[in-house]
Amino acid sequence: MGEVIRVAYQGAPGAFSEDAAVSYFATPGTVCLPQREFMAVRHAVLAGVATFGVLPIENSIHGPVTASLAAFAMGGLEVIGRIACPIRLCLLAAPAAQPEQLRRVLSHPVALGQCRRFLAAMPLLEAVPFYDTAGAAEEVAARGDTTSAAVASQRAAAHYELDIIARNIEDRADNHTRFMIVARAVSSADRDRAQRARAAGAAIAASRHHAAAMGGARVQSVRERGS
Task: Tell me how far apart the terminal alpha carbons of the chain are, to the nearest angstrom.
Answer: 46
In this prediction, residue 65 carries a pLDDT of: 92
Considering the candidates 25, 38, 52, 179, report the single residue annotated as catalytic. 179
111 confidence band (pLDDT: 50, 70, 90): very high
Edge-to-edge strand order for the sheet containing 126-129? 126-129, 104-107, 148-152, 90-93, 163-166
- Annotated active-site residue 177? The verdict is yes
- Annotated active-site residue 179? The verdict is yes
Tens-digit pLDDT profile for residues 164-217: 999 999 999 999 999 999 999 865 666 676 677 777 666 666 666 556 655 555
Contacts of 133 (CB under 8 A, 6+ apart): 11, 14, 15, 16, 89, 107, 108, 111, 150, 151, 152, 153, 156
Say if residue 34's pLDDT is above 60: yes
Right CATH for 5-86+176-220 from 2.40.50.220, 3.40.190.10, 3.40.50.300, 3.30.70.260 = 3.40.190.10
Domains 5-86+176-220 and 90-166 in one fold = yes
Mean pLDDT, all residues of the chain: 88
In this prediction, residue 29 carries a pLDDT of: 83
Considering the candidates 30, 51, 133, 177, report the single residue annotated as catalytic. 177
Q: Would you kindly state where each structural domain of the chain is located, as residue ranges?
A: 5-86+176-220, 90-166
Say if residue 219's pLDDT is above 50: no
In this prediction, residue 216 carries a pLDDT of: 57
CATH topology of domain 90-166: D-Maltodextrin-Binding Protein; domain 2 (3.40.190)
